[in-house]
Amino acid sequence: MQTYIRAVNAMNRAIGRVAMYLIFVLMGVLIWSSVSKTVFSPSLWTLETAQFVMVAYFVLGGPYSIQLGSNVRMDLFYGDWSPRTKAMVDAVTILFLLFYLGVLFTGAISSTAYALGYFGMEPFAFFGDLALTLVTDGWGAARGKLGFLEVSPTAWRPPLWPIKIVLCVGVLLMILQCVAELFRDIERLREDASDVA
């Protein structure tokens, strides 16, 4: 468990530290949006680009936030509890979070498959087949498996699959971090039990 915790923490720390600089990209896009609306003709791409960058910032930074313990929680009673009680409550509540993230991940995978032109009922099979084709036959054959790509219904009409892939990756990283937190809580409870014995 310790190896898993260290590996996931290191990966999410690295990704989170990079993702936190996306706020500057977001600021740059919004500044350009303001300047272009007042000085030039308005840019069509700025609003959606800002939304995409904000999604990436939020989703990729979430696991790092959980790792640091800076996520929002109701501290009405929690702050006064002993470390053992906190670990027990965290271990139970993280199971609810994992269930929610599992449902969210399933929906994100399905939505990403739809964005890549797959309209069937088995998105995991679609991605497995796509990966197998990519490995065995190359990009040309894999590209042939893609259907009509979903685009945004706005005037700019960017493809939506890149941000949906970012969402899938971010939710998967969040699941991995939550499992690491569960393992950490189990370790704390084991240490407390050995100290009592």
Looking at the structure of the chain, the number of domains it has is 1
Q: Which pLDDT score, from 0 to 100, does residue 38 have?
A: 87
3 state SS for 72-129: CCCCCCHHHCCHHHHHHHHHHHHHHHHHHHHHHHHHHHHHHHHHCCCCCCCHHHHHHH
Per-residue pLDDT of the chain (197 residues; tens, 9 = 90+): 899 999 999 999 999 999 999 999 999 999 999 998 888 888 889 999 999 999 999 999 999 999 998 877 777 788 888 888 888 998 999 999 999 999 999 999 999 999 999 988 999 999 999 899 989 988 888 888 888 889 999 888 999 999 999 999 999 999 999 999 999 999 989 887 776 65
Q: Cα Rg for the chain, rounded, in angstroms?
A: 21
Task: List the domain range (segments joined by +) for residue 23.
Answer: 2-196
Q: Which pLDDT score, from 0 to 100, does residue 151 have?
A: 92
CB-based contact 91:73 (threshold 8 Å): no
Q: Which pLDDT score, from 0 to 100, does residue 197 have?
A: 56
* Predicted TM-score (pTM) of this structure: 0.88
